[in-house]
Amino acid sequence: MVDNEAGGRKHVDAIVIGAGPAGLCGAIAIAESIGDGTKVLVVDEGIEPGGQLPKQTHKFFGHEGFYASVRGFEIGKRLVDKAKELGIDFLMQTTLAGIYEDSIVAYDRNSNSVSEYTADYILIATGASERFLLFKNNTLPGVYGAGAVQTLMNQYKVMPGKSFLIIGAGNIGLIVAYQLLQAGAKVKAIVEATSKIGGYMVHANKIMRLGVPILLNHTIISALGEDRVEGAIIAQVDGKFKPIPGTEKEITVDTICLAVGLQPSVELVAQTGGEIRYISELGGYVPVRDENMKTTVDNVYVAGDLSGIEEASTAMIEGYIAGYNIAQKITGKDLSEKITDMKNELVEFRKGPFAAKVREGLKKMGISFPSGGYREEIQQIPSSPSKLKAVIECPQAIPCNPCETSCPTGAINTGGNINGVPQVDYEKCTGCGICVTKCPGLAIFLMQQREEHSIVGIPYEFLPIPEKGSSVKLLDKNGKYVADGQIDRVMINRKEKTHIVFLKVPKGMEGVVRHFEMSTASEESQAYICRCEEVSRNDVEKLIDAGITDYEEIRRVLRIGMGPCGGKTCRSVVLQIISEKTGVPISESRLGAFRPPVIPLPIDAIVRYAKGVDTDE
């Protein structure tokens, strides 16, 4: 409930600016604690609440308490539902235009009017905006922020292009690349100026096995095109990130995605008089705040990316910490237990190597977080399991444990610390595959060595879902073709939307094969073998896969070799394919009959001969 004050100003106990994960959790914490949601007002510029969650289609890392293994857009929905249940007021499409000494001014785009507020407490959770990158033609339409592409593609279901170049191999660049592939776009490359992939290796592996190259020590020099992007020039960079002359390369793409980091949106904190300091590890200019998320102004709190670029999970935790602190002051109740719980969560989430920058940055503000205490040792993969077993390829210490918590037999553990590298107890693993569908990094595979071939089960989140029995090209972890294989079966998971595709692979290749390509989709398979009857390689392969491996039989079904040329062009090719696919050497296959006539004879010529007509007549 918003109380009206003199002068048309409205008063609330707490105003929360920003309806993303941090703001929502902050508002929920306040509303829950004071037992009245109507005393909390959430203001946001967006059309719907949720911040950047609605555009996140991947499953989040972390643990169950903070929605690990739940897709971002679903987390957004749950938080918004919870906030609305608590009766929290939302003022959407409203920009907090300024925080003045005497009032907070909100501009409502819908009604094109401003309104004034006062609040006892302000929680600012305005998030961050995308960093810009300086290169020639960087304002050309077609050069978009990575987050913008996500918004368009995942929230509005509109594709801004067909082939993409991504700048930056941090988590955002890697995730966007994967999501573009899921939406059916092409990703030509990811270029990264530094010498290493900044994001999680599990995210990088997801796109590398689909064949997307990650070019380290590379940058973009220029976008090409007159009125919109038609390509890009990239080049290698030296140790000082300067392009090396002569290494320039042109790439044809219609969209360039910038994923070069985020910068906190500090404007409103600055207007409250809160101190702003430049701390590069936290993303640039950030508000100075204490461990309770309080800024240098007594009743102003911050949370989420605004207070330092990090993850949605930590943004939620920070939101709770700020919210409980505000609620404690409003109600006078002791909420220290809840606050301590949340602080302990943060400690856990920030122990790993990926939080090193955040720890460094916070230290400069006088807030220290411990590191270490987790397992880094990578388990040796069993060489040839005769029963289906899970193999986890999650080599870095990241704060995530759904593999452990989802395993029905307790076979997986992260070593007592959420950051620990997971290990499998192969005595207990039944190969059920639940962890494969739960792992947010899609880093768990199933393996089995059978008599005649091996089986690899891979997590799969693409369309179309392959059909059992169809032949596929097997790809390694870099997306390189390694052998031909077959779809053994598909375990469809409609709820999780992470399916498991079981591939039949040559024996001994279970440690190599990490993805596949539908054979029918390849350009080679669309090639014609038989010019006369227009029979493609794919047509022939399908028949062979269905068990018809004799040239004569194939000829009868497809009419291959029955056209005017009599098989002169196609016979040897078909025999070659039969040999490749069946493993029977071409020298041992049945050649098929060579029936006369060798060339099509005009019936007239035969009739004349039969009648004894002199051809010279």
Partner 1 sequence: MGRLVEHPILDVKSSTSKAHVVFYFEGQPICALPSDTIASALIANGIDIFGFTEHNHARGFFCAIGKCSSCLVEVDGIPNVRSCITPVRDGINVRRQEGRGKPKW
Residues near partner 1 (CB under 8 A) are: 45-47, 52, 57, 71, 73, 93, 95, 109, 129-130, 139-145, 147-149, 151-154, 156-162, 182-184, 226-228, 254, 265, 461-463, 497
Find the shortest distance in angstroms from Cβ 254 to partner 1.
Answer: 8
By CB atoms closer than 10 A (0-12, 13-18, 19+), residue 73 is middle
Which amino acid appears at position 542 of this protein? K
As a dihedral over the C-alpha atoms of residue 407, residue 408, residue 413, residue 414, rounded to 10 degrees, the angle is 40
Task: Report the residue number, 66 or 178, with the smaller CB distance to partner 1.
Answer: 178
Q: Residue 197 or 487: which CB sits closer to partner 1?
A: 487
Question: CA 304, CA 283: separation in Å to the nearest integer?
Answer: 12
Q: Which is closer to partner 1, CB of 52 or CB of 448?
A: 52
Nearer to partner 1 (CB atom), residue 24 or residue 326 = 24
Instruction: Say which residues have a Cβ less than 8 Å from residue 611's Cβ, sequence separation at least 6.
Output: none
- How far is the C-alpha of 614 from the C-alpha of 608, rounded, in Å? 8
Among residues 236, 284, 232, which one has the least CA distance to residue 258? Answer: 232
Under 8 Å between Cβ of 516 and 485: yes
* Minimum CB distance to partner 1, residue 59 (Å): 10
Residue 143 or residue 544: which is nearer to partner 1 going by CB?
Answer: 143
d(CA 214, CA 20): 31
* Coil/strand/helix, residue 88: coil
Q: How far is the CB of 210 from partner 1 (least distance, A)?
A: 13
At what angle are helices 21-34 and 312-331 packed, to 10 degrees? Answer: 30
Report the first-to-last Cα separation within the chain, whole angstroms. Answer: 110
Rank residues 71 and 350 by Cβ distance to partner 1 and give the closer one. 71
Which residue's CB is nearer to partner 1, number 178 or number 369? 178
In the complex, least distance from residue 181 CB atom to partner 1, rounded to whole angstroms:
10
Nearest distance from residue 183's CB to partner 1, in Å?
A: 6
Nearer residue to partner 1 within complex by CB, 441 or 567:
441
Output the CA torsion 580→586→588→590 (10° steps).
Answer: 90
Minimum distance between the CB of residue 348 and partner 1, rounded to whole angstroms?
29
Residue 152 or 201: which CB sits closer to partner 1?
152
Report d(CA 395, CA 381) in Å as an integer.
12
**Closest distance to partner 1 from the beta carbon of 51 (Å):** 9
Q: Which tokens hold the place of 285? A: 């200019």
- Residue 267, both tokens: 């404007």
CA-to-CA distance for 134 and 128, rounded, in angstroms?
19
Q: For 166-198, b where at least 16 C-beta lie within 10 A, e where not — what string?
A: bbbbbbbbbbbbbbbbbbebebbbbbbbeeebb
Q: Which two tokens stand for residue 290?
A: 């204490």
- Cis ω before 597 (30° cut-off from 0): yes
State the Cα torsion 58-61-67-73 to the nearest 10°: -20
148 versus 483: smaller Cβ distance to partner 1: 148
Q: Is the peptide bond before 464 cis (omega within 30 degrees of 0)?
A: yes
Taking the complex as a whole, how short is the minimal distance between the CB of residue 175 and partner 1, in angstroms?
Answer: 13
Q: Which of 287, 2, 245 is nearest to 127 (CA)?
A: 287
Report in angstroms how near the CB of residue 524 gets to partner 1 at its nearest: 25
Task: State the nearest-atom distance from the C-beta of 548 to partner 1, in Å.
Answer: 32
Kindly state the smallest distance separating residue 127's Cβ from partner 1, in Å: 9
Single-letter residue type at 462? F
- H or E segment at 197? none
Would you state the structure tokens that stand for residue 225, as one six-digit string? 């095109």
Nearer of residues 226 and 337 to partner 1, judged by Cβ: 226
- 439 near 451, Cβ under 8 Å? no
Report in angstroms how near the CB of residue 145 gets to partner 1 at its nearest.
5
Minimum CB distance to partner 1 smaller for 461 or for 510: 461
Q: How far is the CB of 225 from partner 1 (least distance, A)?
A: 9
Cβ-contact 300, 269 below 8 angstroms: yes
CB closer to partner 1, 144 vs 354: 144
